[in-house]
Structure 1
Amino acid sequence: MKKVVLVTGGSSGIGKSIALQLQGSGYKVYGTSRNPQNYPESPFDLIAMDVQDEDSIRQGISQIIQAESKIDVLINNAGVGITGPMEETPIDAVKNAMDTNFYGPLRVIQAVLPHMRERREGRIINITSIAGYMGLPYRGVYSASKGALEIATEAYRLECAHLNIHFSNVAPGDFATNIAAGRFHAPVTEGSDYAAGYSHTLKLIDDHVDDGNDPIEVAYKIEEILKEQSPGIHYKVGSFMQKFSIVLKKLLPEKTYERMLKKHYGL
């Protein structure tokens, strides 16, 4: 029987690349979208799911279980981008980002785990971000949401090891996707002390995404992980310098690393 894979946020970007790659490799793939009717020509099954809505999640999981009797792999990819000065980012926007990027994956995991526990088998991969390893200027909320998911995955992994359910994180760097189109940008308040730094950082972020590699690289890494009998905890996918930045944070004195980030962002 084919392995059944659920990829949240599968209508575009990294999620779509993952879904297409795994389907081409023989997996039975279900992607999710809040509005699957907008993608009538999707090459794989696309079901309705909003990771902020528990009823929507339950209905989506039930639909797959009824059709396939199982879910072998969950890939939590659905997420939103958010930028802005920490002081000036509206708390409602912070809550929305955390609701999608952190609470959303936890909701989906809680809906899928009972089915995996029953079979004593499963793989869960959470798509986080290299940004989750450091508090980046004007991306602090996004960094925090992805960092929280990294840590939660470690706890899940320990708790579910005896159930033969394996958890892993995959942290991408900057890839050429349409994430910028849906990103929330906190408005710059009049006379803001952060205006210059925020504007400069936004340009850097957009340039990095535009110059990013093909998201198929993330899909290749996911497929490699699924072939591992004993998958690791943390995987990073991105340019050498993006991955090396995490190593530098461990090796360098804190203030030295902070100065390096300030110089990179022109702060």
Structure 2
Amino acid sequence: MGKVILVTGASSGIGLACATALQSKGHTVYGSARNLNRLQSVSFKPIELDVTDDASVKKAIAAIIQAEGKLDVLVNNAGNGVAGPAYTMSVENAKKQFEVNFFGVVRMCTAVLPGMIERKQGTIINIGSLAGLFGLPYQSMYSASKYAIEGYSQSLRMELRNTGVKVVVINPGDFKTGFTESREKTAFGIANPQLETEYKAAVASMEKDESIGQSPDVLAAKLCKIVDTANPAHRYLIGAFGQTIAPTLKRILPGSLFEKLMNDHYGIK
């Protein structure tokens, strides 16, 4: 039987691929965006929703419940990226990153969980990142916001153990999407040619990795299987093997060696 599913950030990239794939499997899928003009000619049901706005979230959830009577699965996918030196990052830019990537997740979960708990069933799927399992140079706030999702999801899972509600985290590697072009890059900010060169090298490396990344359809296909699984795993690492092996390397290698390997990859010698 098809489920009622909400995918946030469904106007492009991973969100669009996931919402489209889930709809094709016979589910009733709502895909959200802040601007409905970005959800034209989609196969799923478009809904206006801004994860940074309490009133917008409550309005969208109420509309889905009124129309469908329930919400079975929430896929917290909406997110953005801020790249820049951690050593000059303003609190304002840090807050901008967390407002969408972390507090948006909290806001969505708080809106849907009372209903799921009452029905004693439901699934929360939080799209984290491999960057939530190890820090990335010059993506400090992005990594921090994804690390926050890890702690929040684990606590949530423990609290909901006896409710019938499941909590899953997906940690994607690099996928080829519009995320690269939409990433905000903060100004370098200090006079240090060596560090500035390393900053540019790291940004170039991350953009190259994304440009040759897998299609988001790969992640969407996996998500469809997760949604249909009665007892999904707590975590799924999805991406190229060279990236998904990194958490294992972090666990078994000395910290200094792991960080050297990461720095080498990002052009920080």
TM-score > 0.5 by shorter chain: yes
Q: Is the 8 A contact 1:84 1:187 kept in 2?
A: yes
Q: Is the 8 A contact 1:90 1:186 kept in 2?
A: no
Secondary structure at 2:176's aligned position in 1? Answer: coil
Aligned pairs for 1:147-158 (under 5 A) are 147-158=147-158
Show CA shifts across 1:172-229 (max 9, x none).
0000000022211011225245211110011111111110010111111111212222
Matches of 1:71 and 1:174, distance apart in 2: 29
Matches of 2:217 and 2:230, distance apart in 1: 22
Matching residue of 1:258:
259
% same residue: 38
In structure 2, the gaps of 5 or more residues are none
Matches of 2:113 and 2:267, distance apart in 1: 45
Secondary structure at 1:170's aligned position in 2? Answer: strand
Matching residue of 1:239:
240
Show CA shifts across 1:139-173 (max 9, x none).
11101100110121011111112110000100100
Show CA shifts across 1:36-64 (max 9, x none).
13333222111111111000000000010
Matches of 2:160 and 2:260, distance apart in 1: 40
Q: Is the 8 A contact 2:11 2:38 kept in 1?
A: no
Matches of 1:109 and 1:190, distance apart in 2: 39
Q: Is the 8 A contact 1:11 1:46 kept in 2?
A: no
Matching residue of 1:60:
60
Q: Is the 8 A contact 1:82 1:141 kept in 2?
A: yes
Aligned pairs for 1:150-189 (under 5 A) are 150-189=150-189
Runs of 4+ in 1 over 4 A off after TM superposition: none
User: Is 1:249 aligned to residue 231 of structure 2?
Assistant: no
Matching residue of 1:219:
220
Matching residue of 1:205:
206
Deviation of 1:72 (Å): 0.3
Matches of 1:88 and 1:103, distance apart in 2: 23
Matches of 1:257 and 1:244, distance apart in 2: 12
Query: In the superposition, relative to structure 1, how do residues 38 and 14 fare at CA in structure 2: closer, same or farther (>3 Å)?
Result: closer
Matches of 1:248 and 1:40, distance apart in 2: 43
In structure 1, the gaps of 5 or more residues are none
Q: Is the 8 A contact 2:175 2:210 kept in 1?
A: yes
Letter in 1 for 2:239: G
- Of residues 61-70 and 33-42 in structure 1, the stretch that sits farther from structure 2 once superposed is 33-42
TM-score (norm 2): 0.96
Letter in 1 for 2:213: G
Matches of 1:180 and 1:222, distance apart in 2: 22
User: Is 1:126 aligned to residue 122 of structure 2?
Assistant: no
Matches of 1:259 and 1:163, distance apart in 2: 44
Matches of 1:230 and 1:153, distance apart in 2: 16
Letter in 1 for 2:76: N
Aligned pairs for 1:91-110 (under 5 A) are 91-110=91-110
Matched residue count: 267
Matches of 1:128 and 1:72, distance apart in 2: 20
TM-score (norm 1): 0.97
Q: Is the 8 A contact 1:83 1:185 kept in 2?
A: yes
Letter in 2 for 1:58: K
Letter in 1 for 2:254: P
